[in-house]
Each structure stands twice: as structure tokens, then as C-alpha cells.
A and B are shown apart, each in its own frame.
Chain A
Amino acid sequence: MSARTAYTNARVIDPARGLDAPGGVLTRGGRIEDTGADLFAGGVPEDAERVDCGGAWLVPGLVDMGALVGEPGREHQETIHSAGRAAAAGGTTAVACLPNTDPVIDNEAALEFVARRARETKLVKLHAHGAITRGCEGRDLTEMGLLSEAGAVGFTEGLHALADPGMMRRALSYATAFGVTVAQRPEEPSLASGSMNGGERATRLGLGGRSRHAEAMTVERDVRLVRMTGGRYHAGPITCRESLAVIRAAKADGLPVTCATAPPYLALTEAAVGDYRTFAKVAPPLRGEADRAAVAGAVADGTIDAVASDHNPQDQDAKRLPFESAAFGIAGLETRLALTLDLVNAGTLSPDGLVRRLALDPARILGLNAGTLAPDAPADLAVIDADPRWVIDPDAFLSKCKNAPFDDRPARGRVHRTVVDGRPIHRAADDGIAA
């Protein structure tokens, strides 16, 4: 008989079942046995270990649909182990990594390597996107059929866009045979060649700009290709108003289009670049306040389906360079929840919406059996106390990389416990949970 655990005295939020009420969750082994408002009204089962959540939120384990993990090939920046610990600290139980490893995840062996390392590491569930083209070189399609049978959760070129429209058309079209999603980081590379948001600030700093239109036109073009092929398409991170208008229209027409953004675009504007601050260098770039507000609004209204970490670990050397030479990328695994919680604390987003954006919808887009506390679902969950105030300190990140422009930023809400398949993989030192 598998061990049972009773999570009691919680605010259970499970949007898949329209649940947001005081209650609890009972797990048995790696599965959820039951979830509900009055679950323990008759008392906790005798054989169950009791975890008193102290009134904290009990939510489905968060799902991160886009993070770069450095393994294989960039282990000095991030390993599956360090990424797993960092993600768990942010309440995340499943991560879908990008294929831009070395070698690229464009074949079954690479996919199986990641799966095997994740199993050995026993932290978060690590899923992988396959590359759309071999070596992410934009020329030859990968074996999407075989890769999806081997567990690829989607296909993307990862850190850059698939620029060629003919290739994108073929990818979207081919993907329909296997019902898989083609994901795009939408920035037309021939226009997005600069190092920060195009506009006045880039001009004053003497930096090359990346126009918002380079993003919007790629989304526009891809949506056109979706109309043509019927392929399932996901765009992200989305950072500007024009892209949102295109996505809204596509969704209104019932097209199989979804999108995501990332916390930096909710939390910061291009002002963070300040005086050539390379930690704020990211692609797509941080935009202006109107775009930031629009993106936050779209997260709240559901135009944006998911908030992914867009974790892109860089070592100090890659960032300690003149702005234009420095690498793109922000570490994001540990701050995804806290920065999205800001929207809840600001009254923009409901707790239910937060769970949708961080767990339910990404799970749905990736086709994972996750994102819900429904009976018989895997016992992947997080206990989150939305109240405590703290200050973000990148030096304290569990991730190997500290490249984040959030130092000294006040935050609110901490993860007490992260559980995967019934196993706690993260416990806050001061979680105060009576075990």
C-alpha cells in the first residue's frame, strides 16, 4: 500500500475544476487520491501523513513551458540538477526545455539523454522541445514524428526564430500529421539585429535597436501560415501590443494559436537597461511601459496563455562585456512565480488566473498530464504562501547563474513546498509547515 499524505488547512486552487476554496488534497504514492473543499471534514485518514499548510495556497505544480537548460554542452552555465533545484524553488514541477543545447536536441538520442538525466536527478519533470530543423540551422526538418513518439512536447528553434516562411510553412504543415505544436520566438532576424528595444533610448545610448514590428510581423506572418496549413502554433515570448492584437484576432477566428510571455516583460521596461546594464539584455528586448502594461493586461485577460520563465543562463564572462558584445538572456527559473504574483498583489490577476498562466494552460499546450489537482492526476503540487515580503537576491539563486536584473527588487509570496509524484523536492528552510 502506497503512502498517503494529507495536505490540510489550505486554500486549494485548481482552475481545471473551478475550485478555489479552503480544503485539502490527499495523495497516495505518486498520485492524487482526492481534492476538495470538505475533504477532511470527517478527519484525516489514520494512515496518512498530515501536512498542515497553515492556510497557504495549494496549487497544481507549476509548469514552465520554456527554459534553457545547459545540459548537454553548457554545463558550466546550468545543469539539469541546478536547473531542477532552481525550478523547484519557484514552485515548478515540470519544465519543457529548449533544444539549444550542444548537441542540439534534434534527434531521439539527444531527447533520451535529457530524459535519462532528468530521471537520475529526480527533481522536476524535465520535458524537451525538439528542434524544428536539424541543428536549428533552418534548412532541413527534423524527424518530428519519431521525436514526438520519443516524448518531444513541441518543436521550436528555441532561442531564435525560424525565419524562412517556406520552411515555417512546411514545419506547420508536417506537424499536423502528428498533432504537435510548432513554437516560435517571433522576431524577424534581419530586422531584429540590435541589442535593445528600438527607439529613443537605443538611439541615445548609441545601440542598435530591435523593433517591435520585427516581432509583430513574424507573428502576423506565422498566423497567416496557420490559416494556410492548419498547424498548431505557439508564439513566445510576446512583448508588444501589436503582437497581442494579431494573437487576439487569430484566437477570435478560432485558429489553433497560443502564446506566452516571460516575467521580465511583466516586471521591467527598457529603462532597466539604464546605463548599459547587460543583465537587462534579453531577446526579444524589454520594451516601453505601454507594452509592459499591455502584456500584463493580456496575461490577465487570457490573450496570453502562459508565463514561461524564458530562463537563459549566462555566466559572468558572457555578461561582463560591452553591451553590444554581451550575451542575451536572463535567469528566470526562481523568479517566475514571484514576479507573476506581483500581478495578483496589484489586483490585475486573480489567483485562479495565476494558476492558469503558470500551470494549467502551459500543461495543456504541451500536452502534459499536469496542471490540475484532479483525482488520479500525478501528485505534482506546490504550497505557496502569497503573503511574506522578501527581497530578490540573485546571489542566493540555486541556479548556477545569477544573471538577472532583479537584485534588491521587493517581492511578495514564497514557495513552502514543491512536490513531484508525491515526493517533496523543495522545502523552504523556514516553511513553518507542521510535518
Chain B
Amino acid sequence: MTAAPHGDPRLAGMRHLLAIAGMTREQVEGLLDLADVYVDHSRAAGRKISRLAGRTVVNLFFESSTRTRTSFELATQRLGGDVINMEVSWSSVKKGETLIDTAMTLNAMHPDALVVRAPDSGAVQLLSEKVTSAVLNGGDGAHEHPTQALLDAVTIRRRRGTLHGLRVAICGDIAHSRVARSNIHLLTLVGAEVRVIAPPTLLPTGIEAMGVEAYTDMRAGLTGCDIVMMLRLQTERMQGSHVPSIREYFRFYGLDHAKLAAAKPDALIMHPGPMNRGVEIDTVVADDIDRSLIREQVEMGVAVRMAVLDVLAGGPAEAAA
């Protein structure tokens, strides 16, 4: 067992990971560098890390999730920590002060980190104000999903060497997407050129003020892009409320080879998962091993979460090798 990495002074002051907004470029780059280290650790079989030895991480999910929760669970275990999963229905939480009650109850058990996902924007921050442990935002409403943006950034950086100067298109349900918001903050922070592409009904007002260019014509938006990030369209928005039909959405906003041809010839495709094949992405494109980074994103997810847990809940920096 080795109590390895961290010890990065750029990350010394971090207590929670609530949002990409407000982070410094140095902090983001520090986390990306550390995630790189953990990618190698994870790939080397049998390598044990004890950064979280004797520590407890609670996955508090008010919204069902398999991928993100499993990813945090695995990250904790790889760092030698203990993990507890709690799934609480949001409907019971909504009836009063229960969110804070739950937080106080958990806090009394002295966990070292709380990973929280909640359907209401801002709920994770509210909870963080009531507990003494580190809080990691596992996704709050349509606000932020910081570890997703970090894992996307690691994935891109490992392929392209840098994020600076890349043209990235984020396509789909921008209005309801926390993934989009976190990615916009991160990518603009590190000097990428960000575009968002969506039907006007899924483009939130004032999005340009976040430093992006907005497009409703997908081909125009994809022109010259290095990276194409697709977002999942929730079923309840496909039947006429925001988008008339799956058929029409796929026709104008689904990523297929014809639209992808507008991007750079070596443009890479990403998706936070789970994908709706035939809705936002064509199967052929999703499975194109030369272009699709979708499986790599999952691997980077574990590494990024290890990095964040290490920084926020790991042993004292001086214990690092």
C-alpha cells in the first residue's frame, strides 16, 4: 500500500467541489494533472492506493443514477476508502426541511466526504453549508455536474494534448443540462472556443453571456469543430413540449455522418451517457471507434473522481510520497 499522489499546492485550498464556476484555471489544471496520474494507476493492475484508508464516503443520491454513483464508488474503493450508498426519493425530501435534516443526520456520523446528486439546482450547495465534511456535487438540477466536465476535459486533453484553442460544440438540450453548464465554464476557462447547438426551444436565454456562440443550425454550428459533445435528450421533452418528435429531432439535431462532415475531418465525438441511439446520435457514429470517445469518458470518470476525492478527503498532504 502506498499513500501516494496529491501534494499539489494548486489544490491546497479546496474544501468542496460544488461547481466549475468560481474555480481557477490552476485548480482545474491541478485536478486534470492528478486525474492523469490516476489513469495510469488504474491501468496498472494490482496497484493499491491508500489515500482514503479509514475514510468514509457517502454517496447521497436524491435522483437515481447508475453510472455516476458506480464511478464514485469505484473511485473510493480504489483509493482504499469505505463507501456507503444512500438513495433517497426527492419527493419525500421536498416536504419541508428534510434535505437539511438528512444532511445533519449524516453529518453526525462524521463521513469524510459526501457525494450528492439532487434534482434541484442549488440543493447541493445548500447542503454543503450544513455539514462539516467535504461535499462533491454529483449533479444538481440543471446547474452543474463538475466531475463530468473534468472527465470530459481529461479525455480531450489526453487525445489532443491541450484544450486551449480547440473549437468545441455542445449539442442538444442545453436548457436543461448541467453537463453543458459545467463544460461551458471549464472549457471557456482553459481557453477553448465553445459553441452550443440546439433547437431554439432548448437554448436558454442569455447563454451567450456565458462566453459561447449559440447556433440553431447544426451544420453551421459544427463547422470547423474539433470536438462534438452530444447531450442526452430526456424522453419527456421529445413529444411536443420542447421538440415535436424524435423523428424531427434526429433529422435536424441528431449527430449522423452527414452533419458530422461539417466538423473537422478528425473531430472527436463525446456523450455523457446514457445515449439515446436514433434520437441525439446515430448508432454508426456512436460506435465509430476512430471518432467516438464515449467509452474512454467512462474510464476517465473514475480517474477524475479519484483525483477529486483524494484532494478533498485524502490524508494530509505531508503524508504524500
- Is residue B201 contacting chain A, with contact meaning CB distance below 8 A? yes
Q: Considering only CB atoms, which chain B residue lies closest to A146 in the complex?
A: B248
Is the beta-carbon distance between A173 and B201 smaller than 8 angstroms? yes
Q: Which residues from chain B contact A141 at a C-beta distance below 8 Å?
A: 201, 240-244
Interface residues of A in 226-276 (CB under 8 A from B): 229
Q: For the complex, what is the distance from the CA of A173 to the CA of B242, rounded to whole Å?
A: 10
Interface residues of B in 224-244 (CB under 8 A from A): 239-244
Q: Given known contacts A141-B241, A146-B251, A174-B244, what 16 new A-B pairs fall within 8 Å (CB)?
A: A133-B240, A134-B240, A139-B240, A141-B201, A141-B242, A141-B243, A141-B244, A142-B240, A144-B244, A144-B248, A145-B244, A145-B252, A146-B248, A173-B200, A174-B201, A177-B200
Q: Considering only CB atoms, which chain A residue lies closest to B198 in the complex?
A: A177
Q: Within the complex, which residue of A133, A140, A177 is in contact with B217, where a contact is CB–CB below 8 Å?
A: A177
- Is residue B30 contacting chain A, with contact meaning CB distance below 8 A? no
Q: Which residues from chain A contact B240 at a C-beta distance below 8 Å?
A: 133-134, 139-142
- Is residue A143 contacting chain B, with contact meaning CB distance below 8 A? yes
Measured CB to CB, the closest approach of chain A to B258, in angstroms, equals 15
- Is residue B7 contacting chain A, with contact meaning CB distance below 8 A? no
Digitize B213-225: 1 where CB-to-A-CB distance is under 8 Å, 0 elsewhere: 0001100000000
Q: For the complex, what is the distance from the CA of A174 to the CA of B241, rounded to whole Å?
A: 11
Q: For the complex, what is the distance from the CA of A174 to the CA of B199, rounded to whole Å?
A: 6
Number of A interface residues, CB 8 Å?
16
Q: Considering only CB atoms, which chain B residue lies closest to A172 in the complex?
A: B200
Q: For the complex, what is the distance from the CA of A134 to the CA of B240, rounded to whole Å?
A: 8
Measured CB to CB, the closest approach of chain A to B184, in angstroms, equals 20
Measured CB to CB, the closest approach of chain A to B217, in angstroms, equals 7
Q: Which residues from chain A contact B243 at a C-beta distance below 8 Å?
A: 141
Interface residues of B in 55-84 (CB under 8 A from A): none
Interface residues of A in 24-60 (CB under 8 A from B): none
Is the beta-carbon distance between A143 and B245 smaller than 8 angstroms? yes
Q: For the complex, what is the distance from the CA of A134 to the CA of B199, rounded to whole Å?
A: 19
- Is residue B247 contacting chain A, with contact meaning CB distance below 8 A? yes
Q: For the complex, what is the distance from the CA of A144 to the CA of B240, rounded to whole Å?
A: 11
Q: For the complex, what is the distance from the CA of A177 to the CA of B242, rounded to whole Å?
A: 13
Measured CB to CB, the closest approach of chain B to A48, in angstroms, equals 45
Q: Which residues from chain B contact A221 at a C-beta distance below 8 Å?
A: none
Digitize B191-202: 1 where CB-to-A-CB distance is under 8 Å, 0 elsewhere: 000000001110
Q: Which residues from chain A contact B239 at a C-beta distance below 8 Å?
A: 140
Q: Within the complex, which residue of A142, A176, A229 is in contact with B244, where a contact is CB–CB below 8 Å?
A: A142
With contacts A143-B247, A143-B248, A145-B252 taken as known, whether A176 is within 8 angstroms of B242 at the C-beta atoms is no
Is the beta-carbon distance between A140 and B241 smaller than 8 angstroms? yes
Q: Which residues from chain B contact A176 at a C-beta distance below 8 Å?
A: 200, 216
Interface residues of B in 168-208 (CB under 8 A from A): 199-201
**13 A–B contact pairs at CB < 8 A?**
A133-B240, A139-B240, A141-B201, A144-B244, A144-B248, A145-B251, A146-B248, A146-B251, A170-B201, A173-B201, A174-B244, A177-B216, A177-B252
**Chain B interfacial positions (CB closer than 8 Å to A):** 199-201, 216-217, 239-245, 247-248, 251-252
Q: Considering only CB atoms, which chain A residue lies closest to B199 in the complex?
A: A177
Decide if the interface of chain B is mainly helix, strand, loop or mixed: loop
Q: Which residues from chain B contact A173 at a C-beta distance below 8 Å?
A: 200-201
Decide if the interface of chain A is mainly helix, strand, loop or mixed: helix
Is the beta-carbon distance between B242 and A170 smaller than 8 angstroms? yes
Q: Considering only CB atoms, which chain A residue lies closest to B215 in the complex?
A: A177
Q: Which residues from chain A contact B201 at a C-beta distance below 8 Å?
A: 141, 170, 173-174
Q: Which residues from chain B contact A142 at a C-beta distance below 8 Å?
A: 240, 244
Digitize A180-214: 1 where CB-to-B-CB distance is under 8 Å, 0 elsewhere: 00000000000000000000000000000000000
Q: Which residues from chain A contact B241 at a C-beta distance below 8 Å?
A: 140-141, 170
Q: Which residues from chain B contact A174 at a C-beta distance below 8 Å?
A: 199-201, 244
Q: Which residues from chain A contact B252 at a C-beta distance below 8 Å?
A: 145, 177
Q: Considering only CB atoms, which chain A residue lies closest to B205 in the complex?
A: A228
With contacts A177-B200, A177-B252 taken as known, whether A140 is within 8 angstroms of B242 at the C-beta atoms is no
Measured CB to CB, the closest approach of chain B to A297, in angstroms, equals 36
Measured CB to CB, the closest approach of chain B to A108, in angstroms, equals 10
Q: Which residues from chain A contact B245 at a C-beta distance below 8 Å?
A: 143
Q: Which residues from chain B contact A144 at a C-beta distance below 8 Å?
A: 244, 248
Q: For the complex, what is the distance from the CA of A173 to the CA of B245, rounded to whole Å?
A: 16
With contacts A134-B240, A176-B216 taken as known, whether A145 is within 8 angstroms of B248 at the C-beta atoms is yes
Digitize A77-121: 1 where CB-to-B-CB distance is under 8 Å, 0 elsewhere: 000000000000000000000000000000000000000000000
Measured CB to CB, the closest approach of chain B to A109, in angstroms, equals 13
Q: For the complex, what is the distance from the CA of A177 to the CA of B248, rounded to whole Å?
A: 12
Is the beta-carbon distance between A143 and B242 smaller than 8 angstroms? no
Q: For the complex, what is the distance from the CA of A176 to the CA of B241, rounded to whole Å?
A: 16
Measured CB to CB, the closest approach of chain A to B68, in angstroms, equals 30
Q: Considering only CB atoms, which chain B residue lies closest to A139 in the complex?
A: B240
Digitize A124-140: 1 where CB-to-B-CB distance is under 8 Å, 0 elsewhere: 00000000011000011
Q: Which residues from chain B contact A146 at a C-beta distance below 8 Å?
A: 247-248, 251
Q: Which residues from chain A contact B242 at a C-beta distance below 8 Å?
A: 141, 170
Q: For the complex, what is the distance from the CA of A335 to the CA of B218, rounded to whole Å?
A: 46
With contacts A140-B239, A141-B243, A177-B217 taken as known, whether A229 is within 8 angstroms of B248 at the C-beta atoms is no
Measured CB to CB, the closest approach of chain A to B214, in angstroms, equals 11
Q: For the complex, what is the distance from the CA of A170 to the CA of B201, rounded to whole Å?
A: 6
Q: Considering only CB atoms, which chain A residue lies closest to B240 in the complex?
A: A140
Q: Which residues from chain B contact A145 at a C-beta distance below 8 Å?
A: 244, 248, 251-252
The 8 A-B pairs with the shortest beta carbon distances in the complex, nearest first, are A140-B240, A143-B248, A177-B216, A173-B200, A141-B244, A143-B244, A174-B201, A176-B200
